[in-house]
Amino acid sequence: MTKTPHTDTGGAAGLKRLGRIAVQLPSWLAALTLFVMMAMTFIDVILRSAANSPLAAGPELTKIFMAIIVFSSLPMVTWRGEGIVVDLLDPWFSPFAARVRDFLVDLITGVLLFWPAFRIWDFVERARSYGDTTEYLQIPMTYIVTLIAVSVVITACVLIIRAFTGILRPQWLRYEK
């Protein structure tokens, strides 16, 4: 009886797959929101031109949709390292020193990002206690601000995970299409 070779990589493959799904879900939310915003803008332009009657809640919805797009994309952009980077000093760093630098930058940024996340969460509590709503549609502000707070917390966690991944498994940070 021959044994079939087993190619278990520990939990690495499952963890990597879970990471991809976690990155893709907010991307789909951002894409769907962008499509809805595009359709809303199209309808607003048609109504404005043909009937001289723009959507009253158009600017309000645009602000909400922009918040959803930006903050749902933030963890994905962070994980992929696609933020704005100033690389003036990169030629002076050896590959090892660059990994240590990236580790420290990601770790410190991730830890420090919890402070604005908790401040945003304070705003969520205040908005809920005051019953803040949007002007035209009366959408509770807590929904939007909660999305922002959760997104910032997730981004902080992503930065910390990215810091240790960059040191322990740098090949996982290479974006694969």
Residues 7-21, mean pLDDT to the nearest whole number: 70
Q: Residue 51 to residues 59, 65, 98, 126: CA-CA distances in angstroms?
A: 18, 25, 59, 40
Distance CA 171, CA 147 (A): 31
Residue 167: the pLDDT is 84
Give the pLDDT band (50/70/90) at residue 9.
Answer: low
Residue 37: the pLDDT is 96
Above 90 in pLDDT, residue 120? yes
Residue 3: the pLDDT is 52
- Tell whether pTM > 0.85: no
Amino acid at 41: T
Tell me the per-residue pLDDT of 19-63, one tens digit each, with 9 for 90 and over: 777 668 888 899 999 999 999 999 999 999 999 888 888 999 999
Check if the beta carbon of residue 110 is closer than 8 Å to that of residue 157.
Answer: yes
Tell me the two tokens of residue 103.
Answer: 């580790």
Residue 23: the pLDDT is 66
Give the pLDDT band (50/70/90) at residue 176.
Answer: very low
Residue 88: the pLDDT is 86
Tell me the two tokens of residue 27.
Answer: 């991307």
Tell me the two tokens of residue 101.
Answer: 């630098």
Tell me the per-residue pLDDT of 92-103, one tens digit each, with 9 for 90 and over: 988 888 888 989
* Bridge partners of residue 106, in order along the sequence: none
Inter-axis angle of helices 58-80 and 12-50, nearest 10: 160
Which of 15-19, 54-58, 69-73 is predicted with the least confidence, judged by mean pLDDT? 15-19
Check if the beta carbon of residue 144 is closer than 8 Å to that of residue 91.
Answer: no
